[in-house]
């Protein structure tokens, strides 16, 4: 396995693979790798001859400098894990390499129809940062296929639209959220939870399952469902951040045409913001109360 930090060097390797007729899969990460990342890599190996993984903590997508500073960085452990998984190249650029003239002077990519709603409304420019760095990494690696976790549901929607609108010749594969035995969605941020917080964290997934069961049983007053879900989070000592019930394709409010909904939720637990989502596939009855 090669570990490459320079853009020119990784492009040289990609060019060599192209000449050999290799199919290339790409998994972008910010490091601190866990089983969720490894699931992406396993899926990548099923869809390509060679797999490239990037490790880059992207400052452009962080709204809070303290959150950026606290993000776990475990590069040596990450490289060891990737080597065991059969990854061909790990791309580890520095901030200066990715933003040579500084972040404020860098071109950015925006997906306005999806970036400014839901999570994007409370995290201004977050998805601009995501779209910009993914677009740049795609341009550097030029993969045939790229893989992303469905846990970051809105992020995946933003990337899918960016690829479609810019006519990028890349197939995007979403990989199902990997969970702990108690239902907690695996995340790099989970390592920052205290023992007590970790015990309470699965309530987020439990709440999503409860809302889903209510929807499947025919309950369609979504505003009240959201309030009830927030009450369940508070009762377990979690601070509700947001719960949305949206069309899973458009991320707009559900209509009588919706056949697949998504419940998107975030909560604050101690110093950590947890996110999760759950798909509900069924015909949702039209309701006069669809807003969260």
50 CB-near residues (< 8 Å, 6+ apart): 17, 22, 23, 24, 25, 88, 89
Q: Is 34 annotated as a binding residue?
A: yes
Angle at 176 between CA 49 and CA 228, to 5 degrees: 165
Q: Is 104 annotated as a binding residue?
A: no
Q: What tokens appear for 6 in the block?
A: 């320079």
Catalytic site residue 106? Answer: no
Q: Is 186 annotated as a binding residue?
A: yes
Rounded alpha-carbon distances, angstroms, from residue 81 to 34, 87, 129: 9, 9, 27
Angle at 28 between CA 84 and CA 24, to 5 degrees: 75
Q: Is 23 annotated as a binding residue?
A: no
95 CB-near residues (< 8 Å, 6+ apart): 59
Q: What tokens appear for 287 in the block?
A: 């309701």
Q: Is 178 annotated as a binding residue?
A: yes
Q: Is 37 annotated as a binding residue?
A: yes
Q: Is 61 annotated as a binding residue?
A: yes
Q: Is 152 annotated as a binding residue?
A: yes
- Give the Cα separation of 79 and 85 in Å (integer): 10
Q: Is 187 annotated as a binding residue?
A: yes
In 3-state terms, what secondary structure has residue 182? coil
- Active-site hit among 19, 37, 106, 126: 37
Q: Is 126 annotated as a binding residue?
A: no
Which residues are catalytically annotated?
37
* Residues in the annotated binding site: 30-37, 61, 149-152, 155, 178, 186-189
* Residues in the annotated binding site for ATP: 30-37, 149-152, 178, 186-189
* Residues in the annotated binding site for beta-alanine: 61
């Amino acid at each position: 396995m090669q570990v490459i930090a320079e853009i020119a060097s990784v492009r040289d390797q990609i060019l060599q693979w192209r000449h050999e007729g290799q199919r290339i899969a790409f998994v972008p990460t910010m490091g601190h790798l866990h089983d969720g990342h490894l699931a992406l890599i396993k899926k990548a190996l099923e869809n390509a001859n060679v797999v490239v993984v990037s490790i880059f903590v992207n400052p452009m997508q962080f709204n809070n400098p303290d959150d950026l500073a606290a993000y776990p960085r475990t590069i040596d452990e990450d490289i060891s894990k990737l080597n065991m998984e059969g990854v061909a190249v790990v791309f580890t650029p520095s901030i200066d390499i990715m933003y040579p003239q500084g972040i404020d002077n860098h071109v950015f990519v925006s997906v306005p129809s999806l970036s400014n709603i839901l999570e994007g409304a409370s995290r201004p420019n977050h998805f601009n940062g995501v779209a910009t760095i993914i677009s740049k990494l795609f341009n550097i690696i030029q993969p045939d296929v790229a893989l992303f976790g469905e846990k970051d549901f809105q992020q995946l929607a933003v990337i899918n639209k960016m690829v479609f609108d810019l006519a990028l010749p890349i197939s995007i594969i979403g990989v199902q959220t990997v969970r702990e035995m108690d239902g907690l969605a695996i995340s790099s941020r989970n390592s920052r939870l205290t023992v007590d917080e970790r015990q309470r964290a699965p309530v987020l997934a439990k709440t999503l399952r409860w809302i889903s069961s209510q929807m499947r049983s025919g309950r369609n007053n979504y505003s009240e469902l959201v309030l009830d879900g927030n009450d369940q989070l508070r009762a377990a000592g979690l601070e509700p951040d947001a719960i949305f019930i949206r069309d899973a394709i458009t991320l707009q409010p559900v209509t009588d045409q919706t056949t697949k909904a998504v419940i998107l939720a975030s909560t604050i637990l101690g110093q950590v913001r947890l996110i999760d989502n759950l798909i509900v596939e069924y015909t949702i009855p039209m309701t006069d109360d669809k807003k969260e």
